[in-house]
Chain A
């Protein structure tokens, strides 16, 4: 080794597994780590790589303020890395979860995947960013900036694989906790003496203000504003057990008691649990994502409707009609792609998905699924349009029709449902991780696709057989969708508190109008009523069916909006 060199050799690094330990017995909540990090990494205002959460608990004079140094956990199994379509987030061989701002396309999927609120979009450079263990210092043999500034030496970095390192010794000898171990991410940020009220993101309500700071986060405002004193919830009527003892009635699964999952009370002048300070986060995904789900559903659904009709021979379809249907399908897939791109914080980087795909990411897989689907739909469209315009011999188009329908169908299904797999990778949003979601998305695609065809039927003539197929398909998928929403997504109790909270927010909270008036009434009750009317008044069937299709699509958007937004409001830190 060169004299005076501070740099590790490759070999030494390969044997390292970095992790953090925060000793909350010593932490005094001074925020030195927060500003040292801002300084070291030039972190802009409004976003944080590390911060100190404050929670106050107790009843005077038995009260405490708990601190928690909060940041990326450098998970051994990092979901942000898995979901990143372009390997902008990656795990180094020394265990540091690192990011490359230049590669990032700004899709924010990593923010959805992180169950710890550790990632933000840099307002300057528009890439995802987070604590990266000061890897630029580590590679020079220096400890992270937060660690060296800490007056109490309460932040300890080190090699978890070295049994002689200080961090290993402390972890071995003290009870330690991590945040949300149930996520299976294997966090490598350990806490000595952290409190459940700080570890559990939803345990401490947020009031109208913090102790020293404004509350402005779109994630927090208006929902978890309990002030530590929940309004008394529904009157609890004691039940009587067989023994005659009065007992508490069972409550809803997953929702905790009152506002917190921890049983710490919440009466005025009672047991206080309130957040004194926390970093505030933005909701990463907004309207383009629910809109993309709808347009993708239409694009794939229209294709599926006509391909099924062709493939199963349910209705005779002509080249012009097929050309128009396929054009509509392609148009909505194009809009889908456009929505995907405009939602990127670095839209010009979109092609990076194709040039450096990361194949574990369902964003990558989905992009390729869409491309494959669009290719088949496009070839078929060219053939049919060519035939319709006499540019291609009709026989050629007819010969291609059946194989293309059969090849296209699984791709269309994949295009419709891959988002379920992407959402399942979003480990920060438990509600999205529903095993029903692929089937649900398929039902929604069929509903939206057939609904769109019914609208199209108002402007073009369709063979009655096809209309029959469409009406059956529409009605069937509509009822299936309703069934899946009411009995599936919302009827079945949610396994995790986070999912239960989001579902509750949809059915009873911030998004209840989207849900009841939009998704259920406009999206299902109205179309079913219109279908019934169409049966009763066949003369008005065409406009009634078109209206039913339109209502179902509008309702679908309302549903998707609530479904996409609600889980993002549940704090992860």
Chain B
């Protein structure tokens, strides 16, 4: 009473000013007018995004000045995130006065991400304004790796690199050019560039990532990636942590949860308690590598109880091939196959699976019963984790797909599709023919079935003298840090006789970049053009990444010729760089390279970025020209404005599509196999997503379909049998008959190989955090603030035995060295298994050597031949920069780089690096310090030889004189002649 009186008496100023709402003054300046239909909002409901018709010119209150109402004017430019592989849409708010990017929100028109993002989306802003980023081309001044750099012009760099490549091509040393890329962040582009050079130069990160899962999928159906329809599934079965990690994190997380909220059961196989496992209805924590045993026990249950989709299996599985080959005495009937199927899998009981995995038989049975009730709506996915960590991990993916086959959950709503049904890569202009060379440094004869390049073995191949590299590009890839056995990489990267010129294309510093000859700064997600399409859900879309400042300048009537003019410093973008480099390799067109890079609109002139994408969008994206025309836009203008285009909603498998009468007109049908052949040449496809490929034979032509048991003639799968290959003749014929059908392979970390009484455990060394993405996110302060260290997870019982508590130091001893890290004691991991995220542990060798936000300063010493010791001098420290936040860095830990201490473990079939490590653990000793790393690269080479000895090389097993089954997927597929094995080695 008294106070309110006082209040009134004193007439306090404060209470009245706050919540007044007044409309902003409408913008006055003239911008590119929008022709999108204007829909005036009629309700007062809050909305997610500014209406699209106002994106060109949008006014928003300045949050810093608030609650004072200060208006800021932006033009909103859609682009695509460049962090993980999901290619989520972003919407950049470009301040029209300062041309600074204020923030990134999601692009609501993007069909995959639907306007939403993970933590990395908004943090793109950090990457743009990272004070430690590389702004100018740098050339090394001292020895390689010495850390001395001089700034050079783009011209100097381009000319030197182009001249070298030109010389190598002229001298027929095409295989000495290698382009090694992490996740490329674009689709189709390098498939356009590298074949034009006539090289087999592509080298990827695939065999530290997805080879296992790809191989397992491809052996069934030819396509190597799944596209689950989580949103409509009744059962979602995930191997690994898809609610927090990739393929495709944000788009999948949305739809998994959508499915779950709609009543789907979520089953997650993950040895550690991931966020995904935590939210699962059934969390299965198997002993690493035993996943196959569980999956086969579930398959056995479905078979034994007859709860599988008989019609689907009968129609689509190549059971006849199996019977004919393995049981020639039996009549070729489905009933006999079913009988055999029962026999084959009877051994995989729940009890057997329980014994192998440590998971209770009750839980496995419970899960089997859930899957049996999926009604053909089983969405499955396996990416990384188990399939990429175990010897024979590819078989986990194969057995997972077995469940899709048995439940008929393929290409149907709520089931799982093949990625290529949901992915669209538009044809590029003037595409060159397949190159005529085969690069044995990336596609060695020991691995005829690999998926794909054996990139982890490059250092060992170079050490063995299998070849040398003249020009080596690393692009958004950090093999020295990311790959196993980084010290072997360091040894070859510093050896100029093995690698002539190392060109590192990256927006930021990296451990690998440190050992380059040129570091060429390339834009981050908001500073480059790319076309992307991902199989994020039941549907199909393309998205357009664009340099947002450049686009803003164009809208403001200040177009630039070259993205460098819009980017910070002299940061460029790959598309323009590769066009320019290709042009300089063949300036007069005499090598036949130039013609690929000539404008389709202006003959003989160099193609521009606008022409490249304009041409693709006009000619090879069905529906896009029409949608654009409806708004009075060109297809390119449409993509610039909206950033994405949806080609299709819903599931659309191709395998079940009847062949058209015109297709059947010239066809012949093989009476035994039912395969339909035609001599009509294949029409050029607008979608250039790589597919399995069957070369026409002179007599019957190319296979185009299959006549099924019921007489229906449909496209079928792109496999030799045109069916789902339960029985793989490819595996049988290429040296692995024992794996011709889905079966159980003992992992290299099978319990029988781990002696827990000697403190041996399995180290689960790969898992993503929801906030980071390998070394790509090291320059994002908001992400590093949340996560900057990777303690070793250890179960309480193991910790107790060693006397360890959270925060204590542990020494993890691998086959080739050791690392010292802290422990995180938890009940969220299986006893006998430890785990450490691979995201952290970045380091630098010089105080000012870049990346101070995420790297520890280390001392690296070679103590004897191949014996390397790394010790942290200090962790992360605050520092002064243009960004006041760097002085406020409060964390010290940068984590520990475990991958250095791993030898290569190439799976003899898929080529996958099998990440799991059998290690010995002990409490750190008095001389061990946090972050200590020791590696013996001599020993690493021995381990490589041991794994190499497990292979069955093409020169021994090839049934047809080829290096690889020709039909199998191979990116950057060379011409058939290059597939032929060299005669001299075939003995």
Selected from A140, A149, A268, the residue in CB contact (under 8 A) with B106 is A149
- On whether the beta carbons of B122 and A36 are closer than 8 Å, the reply is yes
Known A32-B122, A34-B119: A356·B67 in contact at CB below 8 Å: no
- On whether the beta carbons of B254 and A151 are closer than 8 Å, the reply is yes
- On whether the beta carbons of B788 and A212 are closer than 8 Å, the reply is yes
Which stretch, B451-459, B601-609, B823-831, touches the partner chain A? B823-831
Residues of chain A from 54 to 110 with CB closer than 8 A to chain B in the complex: 56, 58-61, 63-67, 86-87, 90, 92-94, 96, 98, 100, 102-103
Q: Which residues of A contact B885 (CB under 8 A)?
A: 44-45
Selected from A44, A58, A66, A272, the residue in CB contact (under 8 A) with B884 is A44
B→A interface (CB under 8 Å): 3-4, 6-7, 10, 12-15, 18-24, 26, 38, 40-41, 44, 46-51, 54, 60-64, 66-69, 103-106, 115-123, 125, 243-244, 250, 253-254, 257, 261, 273, 275-276, 278-279, 283, 285, 359, 769-771, 781-783, 785-791, 795-797, 799-800, 805-808, 822, 824-831, 837, 840, 884-885, 888-893
Select from chain A the residue with minimum beta-carbon distance to B363.
Answer: A61
Contacts A149-B106, A208-B822 known; 12 new A-B pairs at CB < 8 A: A7-B22, A7-B23, A10-B21, A30-B770, A31-B118, A36-B119, A136-B66, A149-B105, A151-B250, A213-B788, A216-B892, A360-B3
- On whether the beta carbons of A90 and B837 are closer than 8 Å, the reply is no
Selected from B120, B285, B769, the residue in CB contact (under 8 A) with A60 is B285
Distance of A147 Cα from B47 Cα, bound (Å): 10
0/1 string, A209-225, CB within 8 A of B gives 1: 10111101000000000
Q: Which residues of B contact A466 (CB under 8 A)?
A: none
- On whether the beta carbons of A152 and B257 are closer than 8 Å, the reply is yes
- On whether the beta carbons of A32 and B278 are closer than 8 Å, the reply is no
- On whether the beta carbons of A35 and B122 are closer than 8 Å, the reply is yes
CB distance from B282 to the nearest CB of A (A): 10
- On whether the beta carbons of A143 and B19 are closer than 8 Å, the reply is no
Distance of A157 Cα from B23 Cα, bound (Å): 22
CB distance from A21 to the nearest CB of B (A): 14
Distance of A13 Cα from B770 Cα, bound (Å): 37
Select from chain A the residue with minimum beta-carbon distance to B53.
Answer: A4
Select from chain A the residue with minimum beta-carbon distance to B41.
Answer: A6
- On whether the beta carbons of B44 and A229 are closer than 8 Å, the reply is no
Interface-centre pick from B19, B60, B68, B279 (highest chain A CB count, 10 A)? B19
- On whether the beta carbons of A2 and B23 are closer than 8 Å, the reply is yes
- A378 in the interface (beta carbon within 8 A): no
CB distance from B773 to the nearest CB of A (A): 12
CB distance from B776 to the nearest CB of A (A): 15
List the 5 shortest-distance A-B pairs measured between CB atoms, nearest first: A208-B807, A87-B14, A212-B787, A207-B806, A92-B19
Distance of A18 Cα from B305 Cα, bound (Å): 55
Select from chain B the residue with minimum beta-carbon distance to A125.
Answer: B64
- A516 in the interface (beta carbon within 8 A): no
Distance of A45 Cα from B853 Cα, bound (Å): 12
7 contacts across the A-B interface (CB closer than 8 A): A9-B21, A13-B21, A28-B770, A35-B122, A64-B273, A100-B67, A211-B791
Interface-centre pick from B14, B105, B276 (highest chain A CB count, 10 A)? B14
- On whether the beta carbons of A60 and B7 are closer than 8 Å, the reply is no
Known A35-B123, A36-B122, A142-B50: A209·B806 in contact at CB below 8 Å: yes
Q: Which residues of B contact A123 (CB under 8 A)?
A: 888
Interface-centre pick from B4, B106, B118, B285 (highest chain A CB count, 10 A)? B118
- On whether the beta carbons of A148 and B48 are closer than 8 Å, the reply is yes
- On whether the beta carbons of A28 and B279 are closer than 8 Å, the reply is yes
Known A42-B64, A61-B283, A207-B807: A229·B244 in contact at CB below 8 Å: no
Q: Which residues of A contact B68 (CB under 8 A)?
A: 102
- A348 in the interface (beta carbon within 8 A): no
CB distance from A1 to the nearest CB of B (A): 8
- A111 in the interface (beta carbon within 8 A): no
Q: Which residues of B contact A358 (CB under 8 A)?
A: 12, 14
- On whether the beta carbons of B12 and A359 are closer than 8 Å, the reply is yes
Select from chain B the residue with minimum beta-carbon distance to A92.
Answer: B19
Known A60-B828, A61-B830: A268·B19 in contact at CB below 8 Å: no
- On whether the beta carbons of B117 and A151 are closer than 8 Å, the reply is yes
- On whether the beta carbons of B805 and A269 are closer than 8 Å, the reply is no
Which bracket fits the contact residues of A?
A: 35 or more
Distance of A418 Cα from B24 Cα, bound (Å): 45
Selected from A9, A40, A45, A269, the residue in CB contact (under 8 A) with B796 is A269
- On whether the beta carbons of A359 and B47 are closer than 8 Å, the reply is no
- A300 in the interface (beta carbon within 8 A): no
Distance of A356 Cα from B806 Cα, bound (Å): 50
Distance of A98 Cα from B121 Cα, bound (Å): 27
- A235 in the interface (beta carbon within 8 A): no
- A150 in the interface (beta carbon within 8 A): yes
Known A60-B828, A63-B273: A35·B783 in contact at CB below 8 Å: yes
- A171 in the interface (beta carbon within 8 A): no
Residues of chain A from 462 to 506 with CB closer than 8 A to chain B in the complex: none
- On whether the beta carbons of B275 and A359 are closer than 8 Å, the reply is no
Residues of chain A from 388 to 431 with CB closer than 8 A to chain B in the complex: none
Q: Which residues of A contact B44 (CB under 8 A)?
A: 8, 12, 141
- On whether the beta carbons of A212 and B789 are closer than 8 Å, the reply is yes
Q: Which residues of A contact B279 (CB under 8 A)?
A: 28
- On whether the beta carbons of A56 and B828 are closer than 8 Å, the reply is yes
Q: Which residues of A contact B67 (CB under 8 A)?
A: 98, 100, 135-136
Q: Which residues of B contact A157 (CB under 8 A)?
A: 46
Distance of A100 Cα from B67 Cα, bound (Å): 6
- A169 in the interface (beta carbon within 8 A): no
Q: Which residues of B contact A228 (CB under 8 A)?
A: 806, 825
Interface-centre pick from A5, A98, A148, A157 (highest chain B CB count, 10 A)? A148
- A274 in the interface (beta carbon within 8 A): yes
- On whether the beta carbons of B781 and A31 are closer than 8 Å, the reply is no
CB distance from A368 to the nearest CB of B (A): 9
Known A98-B18, A136-B61, A212-B790: A229·B66 in contact at CB below 8 Å: no
Residues of chain A from 137 to 183 with CB closer than 8 A to chain B in the complex: 137-143, 145, 147-153, 157-158
- A38 in the interface (beta carbon within 8 A): yes
Distance of A382 Cα from B40 Cα, bound (Å): 71
Q: Which residues of A contact B359 (CB under 8 A)?
A: 61
Q: Which residues of A contact B26 (CB under 8 A)?
A: 2
Q: Which residues of A contact B800 (CB under 8 A)?
A: 268-269
Selected from A30, A87, A216, the residue in CB contact (under 8 A) with B12 is A87
- On whether the beta carbons of A60 and B795 are closer than 8 Å, the reply is yes
Distance of A230 Cα from B46 Cα, bound (Å): 48
- On whether the beta carbons of B893 and A214 are closer than 8 Å, the reply is yes
Q: Which residues of A contact B261 (CB under 8 A)?
A: 25-26
- On whether the beta carbons of A56 and B785 are closer than 8 Å, the reply is no
Distance of A158 Cα from B771 Cα, bound (Å): 28
Known A56-B273, A65-B278: A151·B782 in contact at CB below 8 Å: no
Known A7-B21, A100-B67, A359-B3: A31·B770 in contact at CB below 8 Å: yes
- On whether the beta carbons of A39 and B19 are closer than 8 Å, the reply is no
- On whether the beta carbons of B257 and A41 are closer than 8 Å, the reply is no
Distance of A60 Cα from B766 Cα, bound (Å): 21
- On whether the beta carbons of A58 and B119 are closer than 8 Å, the reply is no
Q: Which residues of B contact A269 (CB under 8 A)?
A: 796-797, 800
- A543 in the interface (beta carbon within 8 A): no
CB distance from B802 to the nearest CB of A (A): 12
Q: Which residues of B contact A153 (CB under 8 A)?
A: 116
- On whether the beta carbons of A45 and B806 are closer than 8 Å, the reply is no
- On whether the beta carbons of B122 and A149 are closer than 8 Å, the reply is yes
Q: Which residues of B contact A40 (CB under 8 A)?
A: 63, 103, 122
- On whether the beta carbons of A268 and B46 are closer than 8 Å, the reply is no
- On whether the beta carbons of A209 and B791 are closer than 8 Å, the reply is yes
Q: Which residues of B contact A31 (CB under 8 A)?
A: 118-119, 770-771, 786
- On whether the beta carbons of B12 and A357 are closer than 8 Å, the reply is yes
Known A139-B61, A152-B253: A268·B119 in contact at CB below 8 Å: no
Q: Which residues of A contact B54 (CB under 8 A)?
A: 4
- A46 in the interface (beta carbon within 8 A): yes
Select from chain B the residue with minimum beta-carbon distance to A61.
Answer: B285
Select from chain B the residue with minimum beta-carbon distance to A152.
Answer: B257
- A252 in the interface (beta carbon within 8 A): no
Q: Which residues of B contact A56 (CB under 8 A)?
A: 273, 826-828
